[in-house]
Amino acid sequence: MRHSRHIHHASHTFVLSYPLSLSHRLYTIVLGPLLIVALMYVIYSAYPVFAPHSSEVVSFSTMAQGALYTLGRITVAYIFSLIFAVPLALLAISNKTLEALLLPVFDVMESIPILAVFPLVIVVFLQFNFLNGAAIFILFLNMLWNIVFALVGGLKIIPKDIGYVAHVFGLRGFSYIRKLILPAVFPQLVTGSILAVADGWNIIIVAEALHSYMPGGTPAQDLFGIGSILVSAAANAQNGIFLTAVLIMVVMIAFINFFVWQKLLHYSQRFRFE
């Protein structure tokens, strides 16, 4: 009997799930990042990491700063995507006529390759000398439709009886959206957000390495970030920079997925309709 209890306990030791207890959280938050930093330091020390077009060593703090710049652009683009996606989804399902008109338009907009419009976006933002805006805008376009279609799907499965009850109790306008609609679509919002941010990470290299899409562009015009560091390192065969940058990006994505999205997915289960 003791042996069976031991086996049962051991089977739960290696389950990867969001840490709920205080001890598990402290273990994950403190020891986990320390092990990751130690691994990155070992790789960083094993390879000579040089700056693009020079023999100067790139400091680890510089690469970490570039990663934070990249994370900032993705975060800003996601916030704008969220702000625009909610009203677009609500408008699309507000009545049958708009739904029949807008959903095909949204589908076409989602299907247009982002890289096809990127040169035009850069030209527009160059007029304002705001290349960060170009990167954020292209990330925004890449994220928006994932959230829109996720919200549309969530809005369609809200039982009509719930809407009737809300009207009986006097929920109207913004109160109706805040107290009923947003909680009801929260699971789909989280799922769409995960897909949107994943698309943002996929396109970040293009969004930061702007010179390839600029007339007469040079690498000096690229935006400082982990994406442009990767492009520059790959172009100059700088394996140390490339491997370190990839590892930093993987760690950032894993950390966000584990401590943000998995927590939100767990929390969103209470809002699902059975």
CA distance 222 to 206: 10
Domains contained in the chain, number: 1
Please check whether residue 27 lies inside any domain of the structure: no
How far is the CA of 70 from the CAs of 42, 98, 138, in angstroms? Answer: 24, 37, 13
258-273: per-residue pLDDT in tens? Answer: 888 888 888 888 877 6
**CATH (domain of 176):** 1.10.3720.10
Alpha carbon 139 to its chain centroid, in Å, reads 10
CA distance 32 to 254: 11
Please check whether residue 54 lies inside any domain of the structure: no
Range of the domain at 93: 68-271
Query: Would you put residue 217 in left (φ > 0), alpha (ψ -120 to 50) or beta?
Result: beta
Please check whether residue 242 lies inside any domain of the structure: yes
Please check whether residue 57 lies inside any domain of the structure: no
Angle at 113 between CA 109 and CA 118, to 5 degrees: 105
59-95: per-residue pLDDT in tens? Answer: 777 888 899 999 999 999 999 999 999 999 999 988 8
Whether 64 contacts 248, CB under 8 Å: yes
Quick one: pLDDT band at residue 5, thresholds 50, 70, 90?
very low
Please check whether residue 47 lies inside any domain of the structure: no
How far is the CA of 104 from the CAs of 70, 98, 242, in angstroms? Answer: 33, 10, 41
| pLDDT above 80 for 107 | yes
pTM of the model: 0.78
Both tokens of residue 87? 């009203």
| CA proximity to 192, closest of 203, 200, 180, 202 | 200
Please check whether residue 6 lies inside any domain of the structure: no
CA distance 268 to 184: 10
Q: Taking the CA atoms of 212, 214, 220 and 226 in sequence, report the sign of the dihedral they define.
A: negative
| pLDDT above 60 for 2 | no
Please check whether residue 81 lies inside any domain of the structure: yes
| CA proximity to 106, closest of 147, 74, 75 | 147
How far is the CA of 34 from the CAs of 18, 45, 53, 244, in angstroms? Answer: 18, 16, 32, 16
The pLDDT of residue 192 = 94
Please check whether residue 80 lies inside any domain of the structure: yes
Across the chain, mean pLDDT equals 79
